[in-house]
Structure 1
């Protein structure tokens, strides 16, 4: 028997006549020290670990990362989000505030490539393990630094979470109905995940530079910046024309119809006509081909100027059809349209199933757990799943023993002294 891997990234045993030996993962050989908490910087580590990096999660002795208690708590005492997002990482405990703990970290840094952190700016410097101190130990070191407002500026020392980043970054103001309050834009952790993705991009760019000239560097990301960078034209539109975009519910600026509509069977569909050709196709599908040539509806600007009227025409048509009928009609007519799904809908959708967008894996403490499949999909060096988020300190002895040669007696002393 040899190992092979399905496209759903789960390790399997398979027959040697049918399976193939797995290729080396693209980040194999990269060692990452994840000393961060919650989601933002740690999600960068999740992405890197999915593609082969050895990610060592370093947690405070006793309680560990607060993410363990965030969300739905399972029978093992850790949350589902921990089991999913701490996957593939080794877990060790280490008190970085203690001199011995900081010294052990320095020794690990000598043997590592990347450090991920999201403490308030200045915290690691206070403990003697800031970037400038650590790069003297390892000039090739790459350090990702995620904080609420970044390492500089008048708010650098202020605390913050994703919800605050959504508000400060301009996203919350855009989310909600026009006459209602700003609302949560989907997930309260959105800015955290986005920052982790930007962080992964930064780490890979920095590692490329290390390959070129051998010099590491730090990567500075503020949570609010991760959100602000994605808000299309609101900055140039304000700077040039003084335009302040406000809440529009499910609608958007400059394009119509581009919204959500209720069907006859009380479902919702998302429909997008981003140019005049698409609206022409929709007009035919609705049985109103004359609309495409009417001066009130023939251009995006005309339709946007008459947003309520345009939406009313589409809403009236959709409201007389069931969801399957709307989808079929739009599909046949080449009009972009899709259902507004709940997670229950997602779990039965054939597209999700065909793409293996979620997969059931085995956790050694609680049994089967369903998690999202890793992205992106690489044809030759795909992501692989090795294990769910580990129990606190499960790999302390292995990591410190193998990397630093710390024996069992010393591990016991360090543990009894609160360092581990």
Structure 2
């Protein structure tokens, strides 16, 4: 990406968003939209802000938590006490000029503050409200507290994660939250597109459990029509072979996916066993699935004879999908990550370069970009209240004195 590209206009630069979310699901939606140029105003409680400001590992030099720099990036921070009547009034005034409101409070919170969609849309018919919760806006579980862990289990992910002889495990990230945030961002863009046709906004309802459920491939029809309950299988999918993690001589693991007929033949040739591809136990997709364990053992016998990078290089040359199991140090050192600028360095608030994942997906003409790390609490309060609402400095000072901002 050249210098001209980094300064290209961004596709959402004309969109104003109020983010009332907290923790991960709602704020991740805001992060995605801010990455592509939307002006995302994050509304935070005075004095403490979003709990994400305290989550995750701390910088070894400053002691400041690092996660906020990612999930808060490209946003502006405004402090506003929504439990006070004056804070609610100010939010209504801001909402009258916004395109989108993102919220992921517990069901009924916005209504209790008299900030329901029905009340806000009267002053702004084009307003889109994005509501991210554990279980959605209706149904018998809607009022339950819904953290990602619980909703991942309900959506089917936890039951499939891990090994069959052990209890279900969690993925090492808050995948349910980020999936809900991503679906919320997708819904936001659909609602804004529809608004272009009608001039009217609508509510986007993104639940964590359904965001996980949407990723469950053919799990439901498999049971409904074939009577099959998909079970945990560890590092492979039953009937898909060879496609697994295989040990190398140097102790590292290599992921190989060679279950397609032509690819399996190339793997056999790379392993020096070309006739294996015609063996009746392995010649077809179904046959390989039926003899999965024996086939995995054959591949593992070969991988153990080489170092992991050697295996990857041999199979890359042969046209067989294969790769190492990466950790953060591997990502930072990898030439493909560098060439793609998949990781970008952004100055933190002390001016020190901070590596983080870059904006994705990549757009050829109007790419997003990381313009700044997460802001300090209330950093933009005065500017936003002045620019959006025309409040004078003395009025803003009075709000601060009263603890509203």
TM-score by length of 1: 0.93
Q: CA deviation at 1:276?
A: 1.5
Q: 2:388 aligns with which of 388, 403, 411?
A: 403
Q: CA deviation at 1:219?
A: 0.4
3-state DSSP of counterpart to 1:259: strand
Equivalence for 1:196:
181
Q: 1:123 to 1:76 in 2, by over 3 A?
A: farther
1:293-312 residue pairs with structure 2 within 5 A? 293-312=278-297
Q: 1:250 to 1:92 in 2, by over 3 A?
A: same
Counterpart-to-counterpart distance in 1, 2:5 and 2:258: 45
Moved over 6 A (4+): none
Contact 2:84 2:404 survives alignment (8 Å): yes
Equivalence for 1:83:
69
Counterpart-to-counterpart distance in 2, 1:146 and 1:409: 36
Q: CA deviation at 1:367?
A: 2.5
2:216 is the counterpart of 1:231: yes
Q: CA deviation at 1:23?
A: 3.1
Q: CA deviation at 1:328?
A: 2.0
Q: CA deviation at 1:366?
A: 6.2
2:104 is the counterpart of 1:140: no
Counterpart-to-counterpart distance in 1, 2:271 and 2:403: 70
Q: CA deviation at 1:25?
A: 1.6
Equivalence for 1:97:
83
Bigger CA drift: 395-404 or 41-50? Answer: 41-50
Q: 1:278 aligns with which of 250, 257, 263?
A: 263
Q: 1:394 aligns with which of 379, 389, 393?
A: 379
Counterpart-to-counterpart distance in 1, 2:268 and 2:192: 51
Contact 2:5 2:367 survives alignment (8 Å): no
Q: 1:68 to 1:21 in 2, by over 3 A?
A: closer
3-state DSSP of counterpart to 2:333: coil
Q: CA deviation at 1:76?
A: 6.1
Map Cα deviations across residues 20-67 of structure 1 (whole Å, 9 max, x no partner): 893322111110000100111111111111111111000011110011
Aligned residues: CA RMSD: 1.6
Equivalence for 1:40:
25
Tell me, which stretches of 5 or more residues in structure 2 are unaligned?
none
1:15-414 residue pairs with structure 2 within 5 A? 22-74=7-59, 78-187=64-173, 189-365=174-350, 367-414=352-399
3-state DSSP of counterpart to 2:246: strand
